[in-house]
Amino acid sequence: MLAHPEAERIFWVDSDLVFTNIDFKPPLEKYRDHNLVVHGWLSTVYEQKNWGSVNSEVFFIRNCQWSNGVLGGLGCDGPNNSKLQKVGWIVTLTMSDKIHPEVDDQSALVYLLLKEKDTWGKKIYMENQYDLSGYCIDFIY
């Protein structure tokens, strides 16, 4: 983000993603008041505290200071961080359905939303009118 300040938004995709509809144009105007667009469901985040309620393998993020802050809030300085195991247990105990005490991007984002809703939640749009990504088996059968 810092290397390309001219980019208004960045489209993040995990390395195992395959594009199936290269002509799709996301409704960016719909997101004009939001800095992060991620596939998810508000009710499963805030009511069920479900760690699978967001899909963070694909998202749009605005290139701004707010985004740098939220990305910093998700990080734990890598796998050698001595606090990582403790953080993993805290995140896992916060979720209703997470059984493994590892920190991952999805559960970190849900945790951040639950703990800092007023700080971060207003600028995050959870898209569920179309899929930003999906599991390949769902598309084959």
- Least confidently predicted of 30-39, 82-91, 108-117: 82-91
**Tens digit of each residue's pLDDT (9 = 90 or more) over 64-74:** 999 988 877 66
Q: Are 66 and 123 in contact (CB under 8 A)?
A: yes
Task: Give dist(CA 30, CA 64) in Å, integer.
Answer: 18
Tell me if 41 is assigned to some domain: yes
Tell me if 110 is assigned to some domain: yes
Domain assignment of residue 83, given as a range: 9-140
pLDDT at site 1: 87
Tell me if 1 is assigned to some domain: no
Tell me if 3 is assigned to some domain: no
**Tens digit of each residue's pLDDT (9 = 90 or more) over 2-26:** 899 999 999 988 887 777 788 888 8
DSSP calls for 68-96: HHHHHHH--SSTT-TTHHHHHHHHHHHSS
Any idea which residue has 């509809």 for tokens?
21
Tell me if 80 is assigned to some domain: yes
pLDDT at site 9: 94
**Tens digit of each residue's pLDDT (9 = 90 or more) over 93-138:** 888 888 888 878 888 888 888 887 888 888 999 999 987 776 666 6
Tell me if 46 is assigned to some domain: yes
- CA distances in angstroms from 29 to 10, 25, 33, 67, 105, listed in the order given: 15, 11, 9, 18, 26
pLDDT at site 80: 59
Tell me if 91 is assigned to some domain: yes
Q: Are 101 and 92 in contact (CB under 8 A)?
A: yes
pLDDT at site 141: 55
Tell me if 59 is assigned to some domain: yes
Q: What total of structural domains would you count in the chain?
A: 1
pLDDT at site 139: 62
DSSP calls for 102-132: ---HHHHHHHHHHHSHHHHGGGEEEE-SS-S
Average pLDDT over residues 54-72: 88
Strands 36-40 and 124-127: parallel
